[in-house]
Structures are given as C-alpha cells and as structure tokens.
A and B are shown apart, each in its own frame.
Chain A
Amino acid sequence: GQQVMQIPQYQHVQEGEDFTTYCNSSTTLSNIQWYKQRPGGHPVFLIQLVKSGEVKKQKRLTFQFGEAKKNSSLHITATQTTDVGTYFCAGHRGSTLGRLYFGRGTQLTVWP
C-alpha cells in the first residue's frame, strides 16, 4: 500500500500566487527528500530534511519536516512559470536500507 501520501494531486495557480504540497507518512521517517520533475524530464533532487522540525529555504521555496518526522511540506511563494512541474516527496525508513518511498506527486500548473 501507499506508504507516503501526498496532496493535492493537481494544483493550478496564477503566477504570483503561493503554492503548498503536503506529504504524510504512516510511519516515522529517518529523512525525507523532495524532487522536481519538469514536463518530459526526469526527477531532480531539490533538498533533504533529516532533523525533527527542520525548516530549510531555497529562495522562494520553503521545506518543513514535522516534529514527529511523519509529515513534510513544500511551500512556494509567489509562483513563477518556471515553477511548473511535478513535485515529489520521498521518505526513507531506516529499517528498509536503500529504499525510498515516493509520494504520488503534485502537478503544478502556473498561468501567466
């Protein structure tokens, strides 16, 4: 079954609006990663969160890892057309060596 749930599946925003995608795991994660996939491309690593309650920023992107290490979010402030793509979270459980559990992704469309 789905180990990591991600919502929403689709998000359509006008350029300049904010965007958030959420991930939730049924079990505690040792770390969580975020990837971006442009249309027609392959997933590209964005960031990794390891510590409970961790918050990291990359320009307009803010990533959070929950206190219980079971949930995470990605927030984009003032979206731009270059943000278009699918954003995936991927969690790792320390008990399953070498394996990432991917969420189904949130497909972001930005209208100019």
Chain B
Amino acid sequence: NAGVTQTPKFQVLKTGQSMTLQCAQDMNHEYMSWYRQDPGMGLRLIHYSVGAGITDQGEVPNGYNVSRSTTEDFPLRLLSAAPSQTSVYFCASSKGGAPVIAEQFFGPGTRLTVL
C-alpha cells in the first residue's frame, strides 16, 4: 500500500493563479482531511470529508474548495492564490467510526509558496 500520497511536493505560484493539490489514499478510508501548517500555528483544518460526496468546512476554509467524488481522492483547489496561502499543506485519511475516530494517516505534504 502506498498510504496517502500528495502531489506536487513543492509548488510556487504567482498571486491570482489557481491550482489543485492532489491527495489520494489506497486504504479505503472513509474520512479525509486537509490541513495547513504555519510556524507556531499548528495544524489548522481547511476542509474535511466523511465519505464520497460529503464535505464540510474546517477552521480556515476561505479561498479553498474541495470535492470528494471517489473514496480514494480528495483534491484541494486554490481559487485565486494569495501570499497568505503560503504554507505546508497536509492531507490525512482515517477509517470511519463514531463516536471514537480512528488514527489519521498523513501524506508527506505539499510546500506551497505564493509570490
């Protein structure tokens, strides 16, 4: 199993450009999430999904869109990149479950710089 994969590893954008960060998992996990990590701010949740066709906003959703058309893929779209979106982005997945949530598996991250 490859686990959680993310592409690209690094990306430089100009202000106003759009792009999609890819995330895929091959563990048949129901839950997937996108986080951004900035120095001193920990991991902040952008969007998450509890299954195909279901998404919800996290703590910092503005400027980002997601969709979940398949169990495996959870792409994150930056609509019009801004310097404030310079960050490291992590995708994570976990098995479904309630009320106890299972451990999350993280991808290696995408380091994004917006000029």
Contacts and interface: CB of A to CB of B under 8 A. Distances in A.
Interface of A: 6, 9, 30-31, 33, 35, 41-45, 48, 50, 88, 90, 92, 94, 97-105
B74 interface: no
Give 9 closest A-B pairs by Cβ, nearest first: A94-B99, A104-B42, A98-B50, A45-B103, A30-B99, A42-B106, A92-B101, A102-B43, A98-B31
B53 interface: no
Contact of B43 (A50, A88, A98): A88
A104 B42 CA distance: 4
B98 A97 contact: yes
A46 to B, nearest CB: 9
Contacts of B105: 45
B61 interface: no
Contacts of A33: 101, 103-104
